[in-house]
């Protein structure tokens, strides 16, 4: 049982890959694994943000709506306002940080429960992006209400983020791996990273030792919003459109990945490497189910079951 607790996620990944490889001829191919890695790169970025909120004993439910807002913001900057790459990147990231600040204000200053505060922000952010777009997606040559078509388009440098490759590896996957490594090193080997963990483990004890716990909680929500926005940017560059509510399906996958990470290698706490492995497990499983023609609505049952399993693992880890 101890072995399964520490290495169960890795064993599950190997078993799932072996099963789908034996039953599906086109599963164990470079093209398919490339698609899997592209999809989990987005989920992992969003899940890292959730991981930071969990580290400080919080929880961010607004990441899906924040990713949607970032997707719309990038598309709007490029297609509707003819901006260049820098603007299409910086505006969504700033919006993500702003959403994080709103979450921090509600949970720290007003002392609302994290779950309820971020749930309210989720609805507000979703309403903002739907109001701005009037429920329509943003795409190249889209017709404008005042007549004519949109003056801009998705530029190649932006599309490269989600569709391009370096040395035969998708750029979004390289971006994900670099961020995972940097986040892991930051949380494990820096003083600030240890402050995050100390804040979450015992807030009062951390405060008494001189740690500005409210500041680190605010940082965690700002980081969560920024990573959700980055996931939205990669999503927009991958699909080449700004689809309304496109980030909503990312929430459940990202939450499950973050909670699965609790048990990886027996960590017993939120960690970035565990979150990455959780994303891989979910991505491989959903890809195989899709190739087996399992309906998308039935896949929600599997997602729900995975989430229950992940929550159970995190509960055991805390005990």
pLDDT of residue 9: 81
pLDDT of residue 1: 63
Q: 82-94: per-residue pLDDT in tens?
A: 999 999 999 999 9
Task: Indicate if the pLDDT at residue 295 is higher than 90.
Answer: no
CB 235 within 8 A of CB 96: no
Q: Determine the Cα–Cα distance for residues 103 and 71; give it in Å rounded to an integer.
A: 20
**pLDDT confidence tier of residue 146, bands split at 50, 70 and 90:** confident
pLDDT of residue 314: 65
Considering the domain 2-318 in this protein, what is its CATH number? Answer: 1.10.3470
pLDDT of residue 188: 93
pLDDT of residue 294: 86
pLDDT of residue 267: 64
pLDDT, averaged across the chain: 91
Task: Indicate if the pLDDT at residue 319 is higher than 70.
Answer: no
* Mean pLDDT of the 128-148 span: 90
Q: Which residues lie closer than 8 Å to 173 by C-beta, 6 or more apart?
A: 37, 38, 41
Task: Indicate if the pLDDT at residue 261 is higher than 90.
Answer: no
pLDDT of residue 43: 95
Q: What is the DSSP string of the chain?
A: -HHHHHHHHHHHHHHHHHHHHHH-TTTSSHHHHHHHHHHHHHHHHHHHHHHHHHHTT-----HHHHHHHHHHHHHIIIIIT---HHHHHHHHHHHHHHHHHHHHIIIIIS---HHHHHHHHHHHHHHHHHHHHTT--B-TTPBPTTSSB-S----HHHHHHHH-EETTEEHHHHHHHHHHHHHHHHHHHSHHHHHHHHHHH-HHHHHHTT--HHHHHHHHHHHHHHHHHHHHHHHHHHHTSB-TTTTTTHHHHHHHHHHHTTTGGG--S--HHHHHHHHHHHHHHHHHHHHTT--HHHHHHHHHHHHHHHHHHHHHHH-
Q: 196-220: per-residue pLDDT in tens?
A: 999 999 999 999 999 999 999 999 9
Task: Indicate if the pLDDT at residue 96 is higher than 70.
Answer: yes
* Higher local confidence (pLDDT), 267 or 10: 10
* Higher local confidence (pLDDT), 6 or 102: 102
Q: 217-255: per-residue pLDDT in tens?
A: 999 999 999 999 999 999 999 999 999 889 988 998 999
* Both tokens assigned to 6: 């520490």
Question: Where do the structural domains in the chain lie, given as residue ranges?
Answer: 2-318
């Amino acid at each position: 049982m101890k072995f399964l607790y520490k290495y169960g996620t890795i064993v599950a990944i190997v078993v799932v890959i072996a099963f789908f490889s034996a039953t599906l001829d086109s599963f164990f191919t470079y093209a398919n694994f490339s698609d899997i890695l592209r999809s989990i790169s987005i989920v992992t970025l969003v899940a890292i943000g959730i991981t930071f909120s969990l580290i400080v004993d919080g929880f961010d439910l607004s990441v899906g709506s924040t990713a949607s807002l970032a997707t719309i913001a990038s598309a709007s900057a490029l297609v509707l306002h003819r901006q260049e790459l820098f603007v299409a990147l910086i505006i969504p990231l700033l919006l993500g940080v702003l959403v994080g600040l709103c979450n921090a204000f509600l949970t720290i200053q007003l002392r609302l429960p994290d779950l309820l505060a971020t749930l309210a922000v989720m609805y507000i952010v979703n309403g903002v992006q739907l109001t701005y777009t009037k429920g329509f997606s943003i795409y190249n040559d889209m017709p404008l209400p005042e007549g004519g078509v949109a003056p801009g388009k998705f530029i190649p440098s932006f599309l490269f983020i989600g569709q391009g490759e370096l040395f035969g590896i998708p750029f979004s996957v390289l971006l994900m791996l670099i961020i995972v490594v940097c986040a892991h090193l930051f949380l494990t080997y820096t003083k600030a990273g240890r402050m995050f963990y100390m804040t979450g483990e015992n807030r009062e004890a951390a405060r008494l030792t001189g740690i500005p716990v409210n500041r680190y909680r605010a940082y965690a929500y700002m980081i969560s919003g920024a990573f959700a926005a980055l996931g939205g940017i990669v999503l927009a560059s991958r699909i080449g459109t700004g689809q309304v509510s496109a980030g909503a399906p990312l929430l459940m996958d990202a939450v499950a990945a973050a909670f699965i990470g609790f048990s990886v290698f027996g960590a017993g706490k939120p960690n970035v490497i565990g979150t990455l492995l959780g994303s891989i497990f979910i991505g491989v499983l959903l890809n195989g189910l899709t190739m087996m023609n399992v309906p998308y609505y039935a896949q929600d049952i599997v997602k729900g079951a995975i989430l229950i399993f992940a929550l159970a693992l995190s509960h055991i880890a805390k005990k």
